[in-house]
Chain A
């Protein structure tokens, strides 16, 4: 085990930012910067996440710093809640610093319905969504694909869904990368990944993935909220899921491939899970194109889930004569590697930003934002733990100058799954949530227990840190009224 990391090893830059300088460990090429208040810093030091950030800081040709978000927890190789950027050309790409669930992300749909209108029908709506959006690992969806159709999905992302009647054009406009990573090459996706993915489009998966029906219960920024069409008392829906078995297999297969060639590039790894290859190498280029396929699978997957959520609203509300609309506020990725240009040490540089459990949070005026949001910044969607609040924020000029346009992604675990399973009973938790007026539809009670709110940090505290640190700006808070999960 590496040397212990203590609070006094950090230099406090301001109330919400701490730096572990390169002098801490001679192997570090860049410092580690942690966004946290004192309590969240103690939490971060309570697991291996800061050690993992230090390990990442030893990788070659990184720029700026390795950033750690306030919701950080131990990952494998790179912490969940970590951001790093490598030089392009000359730097590395690390699948482990992007995550197995490539383009795991969050989509927010909003409606023109208020809580009173939906309350009498909520239970029925939750049941329909649970039925229409299959969940659980290995679950199969309503959209089985031929090999050729899967390749189209991998190349086109959410645009495939639009071509086949599962999307409105404005859904794509309000999706990160407009729903399609342009450099995807289906020939670089492995046969096993394709085999795992072909029946999984339109499925939610398991683990911490969920669909949640929410009420907007507080607005902090009326201008931002109005632009997104959000108002107090409004019904909204969040979808949290990713690229399913397809993305996991891409990560697995490329880690294996990288392991066999890493010696050629003379890269020394502190942990095999940080396995990487030079971005310009054939292996690195192939991974980037395969990763883009997984990202496109995920964009298309969340789009098809959105379609089935709209269908669920229609099945429940249309027979009752209730008129409504469901539109997309935005869709973000929080496990992704992106080639972007940032100003670093007063120089414009092209870098590969690795965000694992971290959200892109581009500020106002950034190229690549939809017209609707270009002057207010990119919407940032931060789901809380099950049964607790979630937040809508906006990217800021501060996130662009401080963190390569990145911010946090959620609440972050403080209790292991094994401990949660020992200490919390799923049935009891379900009863507790239902006593708070939250409808629960879950495939597995043990899975529910692992995702219990007390296994996570307080999302409001996490959001306060990024808001006050200036790497995102609070717009609205959501309160759950129905949780649907595998």
Chain B
């Protein structure tokens, strides 16, 4: 396994917020992307873990699965005022890149609670230049959030 220096970092974007997330595996990349998103939103140390929300999404690409899942979390956050700090990828089936009709599937659980205060609300996770790539044995993705 390659070494992971940091799960994610914030990167500049002119009008919105953006992060770069890293993972040794795709499930870890997905979990780190979600962790990065919620680290922008609030101080996660102060967030409890008693609430669990499970989401199931389908999409035509790995990037589509990631964006769709994060948007599910944004929805929980806006409707219920929850922030999440631990993520469990329960099922990840990637679409077959040779078959344009094929659809991938992601089922994941998120654990969190109500944050004491919110630094930044995220209104949507965008598809802007979302490409999951491999660098030095790590999976890397950059995500732009509409705020």
Q: A138-B81, A192-B75 are in contact. Are A417 and B13 (CB under 8 A)?
A: yes
Cβ of A248 under 8 Å from chain B: yes
Q: Tell me if B59 and A259 are in contact (CB < 8 A).
A: yes
Chain B residues contacting A80 (CB-CB under 8 Å) are 15
Chain A residues contacting B79 (CB-CB under 8 Å) are 195-196
Q: How many residues of A contact B (CB 8 A)?
A: 42
Q: How far is the CA of A446 from the CA of B42 in the complex (A)?
A: 13
Looking at the assembled complex, report how far the CB atom of B79 sits from the nearest CB atom of chain A, in whole angstroms.
6
Within 8 A of B (CB), among A91-117: 96, 100-101
Binding site for B on A (CB under 8 A): 47-48, 73-77, 80, 96, 100-101, 136-138, 192, 195-196, 206-207, 245, 248-249, 251-252, 255-256, 259-260, 262-264, 271-273, 275, 413, 415-419, 446
Partner of B64, one of A101, A195, A245, A259: A259
Q: List 20 A-B contacts (CB under 8 A).
A: A48-B14, A75-B128, A77-B127, A80-B15, A137-B78, A196-B75, A248-B124, A252-B124, A252-B125, A255-B127, A256-B59, A259-B59, A259-B60, A263-B100, A273-B126, A273-B129, A416-B13, A419-B12, A446-B119, A446-B120
Cβ of B111 under 8 Å from chain A: no
Partner of A418, one of B12, B81, B130: B12
Partner of B147, one of A195, A196, A207, A255: A207
Chain A residues contacting B78 (CB-CB under 8 Å) are 137-138, 196, 245
Chain A residues contacting B17 (CB-CB under 8 Å) are 417-418
Binding site for A on B (CB under 8 A): 10, 12-17, 58-61, 63-64, 67-68, 71, 75, 77-79, 81, 100-101, 103, 119-121, 123-130, 144, 146-147
Chain A residues contacting B127 (CB-CB under 8 Å) are 76-77, 96, 255, 259, 271-273, 275
Residue of A nearest to B123 (CB): A248
Chain A residues contacting B71 (CB-CB under 8 Å) are 252, 256
Q: Tell me if A74 and B124 are in contact (CB < 8 A).
A: no
Residue of A nearest to B64 (CB): A259
Residue of B nearest to A46 (CB): B14
Looking at the assembled complex, report how far the CB atom of B123 sits from the nearest CB atom of chain A, in whole angstroms.
5
Chain B residues contacting A249 (CB-CB under 8 Å) are 75, 124
Chain A residues contacting B15 (CB-CB under 8 Å) are 73-75, 80, 413, 416-417
Q: How far is the CA of A249 from the CA of B63 in the complex (A)?
A: 18
Residue of A nearest to B72 (CB): A192
Q: How far is the CA of A418 from the CA of B63 in the complex (A)?
A: 25
Residue of B nearest to A486 (CB): B121
Which 7 pairs from chain A and chain B are nearest by CB?
A76-B128, A137-B121, A263-B100, A272-B127, A76-B126, A74-B14, A273-B128
Q: Tell me if A416 and B12 are in contact (CB < 8 A).
A: yes
Chain B residues contacting A417 (CB-CB under 8 Å) are 13, 15-17, 147
Chain A residues contacting B126 (CB-CB under 8 Å) are 76-77, 96, 100, 273
Q: Tell me if B121 and A136 are in contact (CB < 8 A).
A: yes
Residue of B nearest to A73 (CB): B14
Q: How far is the CA of A154 from the CA of B63 in the complex (A)?
A: 31
Q: Tell me if B60 and A138 are in contact (CB < 8 A).
A: no
Chain A residues contacting B147 (CB-CB under 8 Å) are 206-207, 417
Q: A196-B75, A260-B60, A417-B147 are in contact. Are A272 and B129 (CB under 8 A)?
A: yes
Interface centre among B77, B103, B123, B128 (most CB of A within 10 A): B123
Partner of B146, one of A76, A256, A275: A76
Q: Tell me if A206 and B128 are in contact (CB < 8 A).
A: no
Looking at the assembled complex, report how far the CB atom of A212 sits from the nearest CB atom of chain B, in whole angstroms.
20
Looking at the assembled complex, report how far the CB atom of B99 sits from the nearest CB atom of chain A, in whole angstroms.
10
Chain B residues contacting A272 (CB-CB under 8 Å) are 63-64, 127-130
Q: How far is the CA of A26 from the CA of B121 in the complex (A)?
A: 40
Residue of B nearest to A414 (CB): B14
Q: How far is the CA of A21 from the CA of B75 in the complex (A)?
A: 42
Looking at the assembled complex, report how far the CB atom of A393 sits from the nearest CB atom of chain B, in whole angstroms.
23
Chain A residues contacting B130 (CB-CB under 8 Å) are 272-273
Q: Tell me if B12 and A76 are in contact (CB < 8 A).
A: no
Looking at the assembled complex, report how far the CB atom of A459 sits from the nearest CB atom of chain B, in whole angstroms.
16
Q: How far is the CA of A273 from the CA of B130 in the complex (A)?
A: 8
Q: A76-B128, A196-B79, A272-B129 are in contact. Are A259 and B61 (CB under 8 A)?
A: yes
User: Told that A248-B124, A416-B12 touch, could you supply 9 new A-B pairs with CB distance under 8 A?
Assistant: A101-B123, A137-B78, A138-B77, A138-B81, A255-B127, A259-B61, A260-B103, A273-B128, A273-B129
Q: How far is the CA of A264 from the CA of B64 in the complex (A)?
A: 17
Q: Tell me if A74 and B13 are in contact (CB < 8 A).
A: yes
Looking at the assembled complex, report how far the CB atom of B147 sits from the nearest CB atom of chain A, in whole angstroms.
6
Chain B residues contacting A74 (CB-CB under 8 Å) are 13-15
Q: How far is the CA of A446 from the CA of B43 in the complex (A)?
A: 14
Residue of B nearest to A261 (CB): B60
Chain B residues contacting A207 (CB-CB under 8 Å) are 123, 147
Q: Tell me if B14 and A256 are in contact (CB < 8 A).
A: no
Residue of A nearest to B40 (CB): A418
Q: Tell me if B59 and A206 are in contact (CB < 8 A).
A: no
Chain B residues contacting A137 (CB-CB under 8 Å) are 78, 121, 123
Q: Tell me if A256 and B128 are in contact (CB < 8 A).
A: no
Q: How far is the CA of A196 from the CA of B72 in the complex (A)?
A: 12
Q: How far is the CA of A171 from the CA of B108 in the complex (A)?
A: 47
Looking at the assembled complex, report how far the CB atom of A291 sits from the nearest CB atom of chain B, in whole angstroms.
15
Chain B residues contacting A192 (CB-CB under 8 Å) are 75
Q: How far is the CA of A137 from the CA of B78 in the complex (A)?
A: 8
